[in-house]
Every structure is written in C-alpha cells, then in structure tokens.
Structure 1
C-alpha cells in the first residue's frame, strides 16, 4: 500500500481513504446518511477561493461529443448511443401529430428528437453506487435495502453538488515523452510523483485530479476502448490519500485495462468508489490543456441529475488560474 507524502496528521482526518480496509466498503466519517463521500469537502469557502483565482479569458471544454458510432463501454453488453428524430418539418405535414392542420404545419418547421444511451457514455461521472463489495456500496448501503427494480434510492448523481474546485492535470504521457502511453500501461505512484515533480506542482486537499494518458488522441477510433493505459490501485491510493475529491482521466475507464488482478476486474473503481468515497470522471478531453501546459486550473462541472443512476453525463470546463 502506498503512503501519501503531502498530507499532515490534521488533514488525514478529512480523507476517507485513511479509514479504508482492503476489499471492504468504508463507513463514512461524514455520517450514516452520507452519499457523496469526498465531495463533502466542497463548501462556500472552497468555492470562493477557486472562483477568485479563475481567469475567465480562457475556457477549456473538457467534454466529448455524443454521436452514433462513438466509442464507449461495450464490455458488458450495454447499448451504444442512439439518436433519432421524433418530429421533422416534412413529417409533421403528413402526420399532423398535434392536430394543428396543414397550413400551420407548413408555416412552423418543427423538429424533435430522442436519445438512448448507457449512463456511462461519453464524458460522465461515476457515482458511489456504481461499484462496491459483496452486495454493499460506500457507507454500508446494501443492495438488499436500497436497490429497487429501477434504480438505487441512495448515492445517485442528483445528490452531487456542482463541483467548483482546484483542478490538477497530471500529464503522464508528456512525462514519458509520448503522444499516447503504451497499451495497458499501469500508472502507479512513481509516475504520479514524477508528474508532480516535472510540472512543479503539488496536490492539495480538495483537488479534482485529471490524468492524461494521451488516449484521447485515438478518439473516435474504436482503438480508444481497447487495452487502455490508466492508473492502478497503487496510483489510486496515492491520489485518494493525498486528498483528491474526484479522479478523472482521458481514457475509457480511468484505470488500466485489463487489470492483472485475477479476481477484481475493476480494482480502481471498487477502491475509489467503495473504499475511498471518491467519484470518477471518465473520457475527459485533456488535449488542449496539455498543449498549453495548463497543469493547475479552476475546475467547474455539474452532472445531469438522473435520480438514483450509477452515472451521469457531465460537461466539465476549466479555466487557468490567475497569479
């Protein structure tokens, strides 16, 4: 197990990861009803602090487009993104779905559409009910007591506050001098410490930490989804124990795939969500920030409030910090 190198004893009390036990869900220090974990550290003071430093003259859009044929998680048979027209101007002239008559439909060109997708599609958050251990999720909520026929009644994205926080980009691909890390490259503590030293920054309690593997250079080719470089459990522990409130990456799963763990096929997801109380942010476009070497920034993001879901789309943005 890795040991954090930037955290003093007083700060440890605010970090859930220091209460974690291997392959066991953690009881939240924020109370028996807590469903957002480390996001509890966002408050008026922390929001004001980062807003006061944000340089609004430059905004980085960190999300990807949704479109038919986009790469996504298909490993468990979930549906790909689909969009279809529900109303078209010509179709309304024929169907008159609102019973307005020919003249009205010729005047008013009405278009409408619908979508269907897995909630973990495109740039999105993973909530704390997404993965757990032995039928339980973070803070000891059980599937038996809290999972209905349609959704969880705890830990959904509707409970997430809008995230205003200091963001840190750890550009591991740049550290290694490559556009894209090798397939299945495991990002552990050494890579993360190397980035911090190379970029001359440090982690602070309350950070959103984003990791660049370079995998977004492959987007939108389906090669994006295969054998992804990403953090391993050691790397995840390093970030959680140094006070990250959310961990994201530019790849499909944040973590290395496939994992060498013979039993736990998603060791980073289970650790961060169930043990450390840290939500994930997946498929983040970090290319522009990497090119501009923007390693420290104001992060802003809010997910769609899909009640009880295990994930939800997010359109995060970042602004450089003024000095």
Structure 2
C-alpha cells in the first residue's frame, strides 16, 4: 500500500483531490493507495495512538453507547427490521424440554438461560463502513458492486477492515452553545454554529480528530417515534468545514442520521452520507450518547472503541468510551 510519509502529505493529497465538492458525481480515490478500504482511518498510527494515550487524565470513564431494547429507535424509512430479542432457553423451560438431554435432576440443579437477538446493522450506537453508500454503483476508492459485492456482503471495504479506534475525540455541543436543551426539529447545523461552539468551549480541532456533534436529541431516545421524527442534523457546508478545513477523521452525532431532511442537495437524498463515505472516506458514527460529556463540560478526550468485525458488513454496533485528557 502506498502510504504518505506524513500527515502533511495526506493533507496535500486530499486537498488536491478533484472530488472536494459534495456535488461531485464520482466517488473519491484514496491517497493511501488503490487497495485502501478504510479511508481516513489510515490517520490512526502507532504515533497518533501513543500521543493521545499519553495524555489520559484517568479517573472517570464515559460510556458513549446506547442500550438495546425492544421498541428502541431504529431506521424504518426503508423497511428495515426493528431490534428483536427473545429467550431461547429459560431455567424452567429447560426442565420441561430437556434440550441438552441431561435429565430432570441436572436441569433442576443447573439453571440455563439463553437469548438471541436480531436487528438492522444501523441500530443503536454504530459506525458506518465505507461501503454503506456510494455513487453509481461504486463506493470509496472505486470499488464496484458488479465486481466486489457477493451474496455474503462486500469483499472490499467491509466493516471488519476497520482498526480499533483510538484517537483524540472532540465534542461540539451545539445545543449548549445555543443555550437550549435540544436543537429544534429539522434544524440544519451551519459552519458558523460549529465555530461558535468551538469558541465558547475554547476548543480547537486537529487533523485526525473524531468529531462528535451534540444536538441534544438523545433526550428523546426512550420515545422512539419522537426521536426519529424530523431530527436536527449537520448541514453540508458544515461538513465541508470539518472535513476539508479541519481535517476530521470521523464524524458522529447523537441523532439517527447525522444529517437532517429534506436534503439540501438536488438529486441526492442523503448528501452527507455520499459526501463523507463515498467521496472522502470519512466513517460516520450515529446514535452516540453525549449528554454526560455535556453535563460535565468535557470537550476533549481519548476516544476508544471498535466495531464488531462483521465480514463484508456495511456497519456494526460500537461500544465507545471517552477518557478526559490532561
């Protein structure tokens, strides 16, 4: 793999890309080589991990993941399945059915509980792989559905390719910066909103950051219909600012889709997803819980987490934690 020798080289390669506009009609080609399948996650190196881990303050650890439960919010617009959970073995049921054929005495002594669950891959706190959205049958780095997608998922750019995420995380608390508990329905976050939040927080972005946007939407998480309906989200110009100017590695938010609807780009119903995933190789985190960080005014932290390694998958559940930095 042809990897640039420095972050400056990466920055230059990205700046020179002809696909810097969200309205571009083709997918991005990677500055990390023709076989790159993880995009900007190439910015995670031994040196970058050591730099952030060497600044750990210790003490409190923040869990940024949602719980999974029947009735939780999930993407339904395209007909995908809800989260389901059921018992496969219960202490009393095994006494009746004897599924292991160990006899009544053993079943009475050893209480057996087992469960199963199923869900759409974009349920709960999760991260999108770069094969999730593309343009014209192609995904990041030019991989093609006709050549690289089989019956068991993509054989390029699957979520199993992602490394463990260990990087500097920054929360931009847009709701708090505006003095509200939650942004209004369908509010579109602007470049100026981001700058105002950074100024109020006295925070600076760095190339390679995992940038998390707080809208306050997680307050509605226990009310699925309210949480899903007309969420606020990031505008395309704000995304350009974070990606092309600040050099963000990953973008995430506490809403279901990162972006809001209806689309602000003619001819594209999910412009942020195609812009980030397909054109710039920037993974997306959704439904991330940021209210505790907001309460304690923790804006800079070590972000540590990793998706399930689902071969060929377009997303996977994520259990991230945040540890404040010195």
Alpha-carbon distance in structure 2 between the residues aligned to 1:85 and 1:13: 54
Deviation at 1:243, TM superposition (A): 1.2
Q: Give SS of 2:34's match.
A: coil
Q: Distance in 2 between matches of 1:15 and 1:95?
A: 61
Is it true that 1:170 corresponds to 2:172 in the alignment? yes
10-19 vs 216-225, which deviates more?
Answer: 10-19
Pair 1:303 & 2:307 matched: yes
Report deviation, 1:220.
1.5
C-alpha displacement at 1:17, in angstroms?
8.6
Could you state the TM-score of these two structures normalised by the residue count of structure 2?
0.94
Residue 181, structure 1, aligned to residue 183, structure 2: yes
Q: Deviations for 1:232-254, whole angstroms, at most 9, x for unmatched residues?
A: 11111111112111100000111
- Quote the residue 1:243 is aligned against: 247
Structure 2 counterpart SS, 1:210: strand
Q: Tell me if the contact between 1:16 and 1:276 (Cα under 8 Å) persists in the aligned partners.
A: no
Give yes or no for contact 2:251–2:284 (8 Å, CA) kept in 1: yes
Shift of 1:11: 6.1
Are 2:41 and 1:30 equivalent residues in the alignment?
A: no
State the distance in 1 between where 2:195 and 2:8 align.
Answer: 20
For the residue of structure 2 that corresponds to 1:20, the secondary structure is coil
Scaled by the length of structure 1, the TM-score of the pair is 0.94
Per the alignment, residue 211 of structure 1 pairs with 213
Q: In structure 1, how many angstroms separate the alpha carbons of the residues matched to 2:18 and 2:277?
A: 13
Counterpart secondary structure, 2:153: coil
Cα deviation digits, residues 53-107 of structure 1 (max 9, x gap): 1122110100100000001111100000000001111111111111111111111
Task: Supply the distance in 1 between the matched residues of 2:170 and 2:108 (Cα, whole angstroms).
Answer: 53
Distance 1:234 1:97 in 2: 58
Q: Report if aligned partners of 2:10, 2:31 keep a CA contact under 8 Å in 1.
A: no
User: Which residues of structure 2 form unaligned runs of 5+?
Assistant: 1-6
CA contact (8 A) 1:168 1:210 kept: yes
Q: Which residue of 1 aligns with 2:50?
A: 48
Deviation string 1:287-316 (CA, Å, 9 cap, x unpaired) is: 010011111111101010011110000010
Task: Provide the C-alpha distance between the structure 2 equivalents of 1:15 and 1:36, rounded to a whole number of angstroms.
Answer: 15
Aligned residues: 315
Shift of 1:19: 4.6
Distance 1:307 1:263, change over 3 A: same
**What is residue 84 of structure 1 aligned with on the other side?**
86
Q: How far apart are the structure 2 equivalents of 1:75 and 1:239?
A: 28
Find the counterpart in structure 1 of residue 323 from structure 2: 319
